[in-house]
Amino acid sequence: MSNKELQALKERYVAAGAASPNEQFADHATNAELWDADGKRMIDFAGGIGVLNIGHRHPKVVEAVKAQLDKLMHTCQTVMPYEGYVKLAEKLSGVVPVRGHAKVMLANSGAEALENAIKVARAATGRSNIICFDGGYHGRTFYTMAMNGKAAPYQTDFGPMPGTVFRAPYPVPYHGVSEDEALRGLKMTMKADSPGKDTAAIVIEPVLGEGGFYAAPTSFLKEIRKICDEHGILMIVDEVRVALAGPARCLPLSTAALNPT
Ligand SMILES: Cc1ncc(COP(=O)(O)O)c(C=O)c1O
């Protein structure tokens, strides 16, 4: 089908919530190149919003997917576990920069990872408050929407948001917020809104994505680590884009790492 025909189908059958302004439709792709339904070839600068770290259809990935399909497609691992889940958990545990022995839970999306990290933090601390940062983006489910530090467009028309989410400034000197000011802001949030004893977690993107692709200085992340340790708060690092800028160890997945060092 052509782009035009697919666009007509999309307008008729795809819900507005999943809308795309793009009227070209991907047909196939290899490495960094993509062809649309009319055969037009282009360079894919989007990469699924920065998640195709090794491009489209790397032969090793294709081979692994085919091998899995030949064995088994789905069981739901909570009903019937399988080797791939356990082996990936072992691999991630070996690279994630958290203290001691890390355990892994795989989720369907970044938002789901964050929601679960918050559940773990609340259950582990017995506290409810969450502190996150201006410009941060964590997803489109209700709690992650509330955590997004960019009200429009993410919260528009969907309120009221869940409570107990508090915000602090993210250090972006280019926009006039130095590291010292951001730290002062965080301490002010903890004084005015969410004292340590009530805070379950501080959630931060080491590299802001939606907020403008700014990396937090390593010293700032270390200060947060210190504050969390002082108050028994869990630190949640939402790192989709660390692989690009690398202030911490590199994870090529959308993850929510709980209590990194
Ligand atoms: C930093 C960050 N956290 C969470 C998410 C949400 O991920 P998902 O769309 O897979 O729910 C995103 C998505 O872009 C993201 O950039």
Indicate whether 246 pLDDT > 70: no
Q: What is the mean pLDDT of residues 1-25?
A: 95
Do 49 and 11 fall within a single domain? Answer: yes
Do 91 and 46 fall within a single domain? Answer: no
Residue 247: predicted pLDDT: 33
Do 95 and 163 fall within a single domain? Answer: yes
The owner of tokens 């789901």 is 112
Q: Please give the tally of structural domains in the chain.
A: 2
Do 177 and 150 fall within a single domain? Answer: yes
Beta bridge partners of 166: 131
Do 41 and 110 fall within a single domain? Answer: no
Write the DSSP symbol of residue 131.
E
Residue 249: predicted pLDDT: 31
Do 9 and 60 fall within a single domain? Answer: yes
Q: What is the mean pLDDT of residues 226-251?
A: 72
Do 120 and 183 fall within a single domain? Answer: yes
CA of 147 to the centre of ligand 1 (A): 12
Do 56 and 118 fall within a single domain? Answer: no
pTM: 0.87
Do 112 and 214 fall within a single domain? Answer: yes
Residue ID of nearest Cα to ligand 1 atom 2: 138
Residue 105 maps to which CATH number? Answer: 3.40.640.10
Indicate whether 26 pLDDT > 90: yes
Query: Model confidence over 64-111: pLDDT tens digits?
Result: 999 999 999 999 999 999 999 999 999 999 988 887 889 999 998 999
The Cα 135–Cα 204 span in angstroms is 10
CA of 221 to the centre of ligand 1 (A): 20
Domain presence at residue 76: no
Domain presence at residue 118: yes
Do 47 and 171 fall within a single domain? Answer: no
> What torsion, rounded to 10 degrees, do the Cα atoms 196, 246, 239, 160 define?
70
The Cα 3–Cα 21 span in angstroms is 13
Distant-in-sequence, close-in-space partners of 198: CB < 8 Å, separation ≥ 6: 127, 128, 129
Write the DSSP symbol of residue 206.
S
The Cα 224–Cα 220 span in angstroms is 6
Please state, in angstroms and as integers, the Cα–Cα distance from residue 161 to each residue in 73, 147, 150, 155, following that order: 37, 9, 13, 8
CA of 74 to the centre of ligand 1 (A): 24
Tell me which residues have their CB closer than 6 angstroms to ligand 1: 49, 109-111, 114, 137-139, 205, 209, 238, 240, 254
Domain presence at residue 156: yes
Indicate whether 51 pLDDT > 90: no
Q: What is the mean pLDDT of residues 209-227?
A: 94
- Can you tell me which atom of ligand 1 is nearest the CA of 141? 11
Domain presence at residue 77: no
The chain-wide mean pLDDT, for the chain, equals 91
Indicate whether 147 pLDDT > 90: yes
Residue 242: predicted pLDDT: 58
Q: How many helices (H) and strands (E) does the chain have?
A: 10, 8
Beta bridge partners of 98: 260
Domain that holds residue 32: 3-71
The per-residue b/e assignment along 155-177, b for 16 or more CB within 10 angstroms, e otherwise, is eeeeeeeeebbbbbbbbbeeeeb
Q: Which long-range contacts (CB under 8 A, 24 or more apart) does 63-67 make?
A: none
Band of the pLDDT at 213, cuts 50, 70, 90? Answer: confident
The owner of tokens 């002082």 is 230
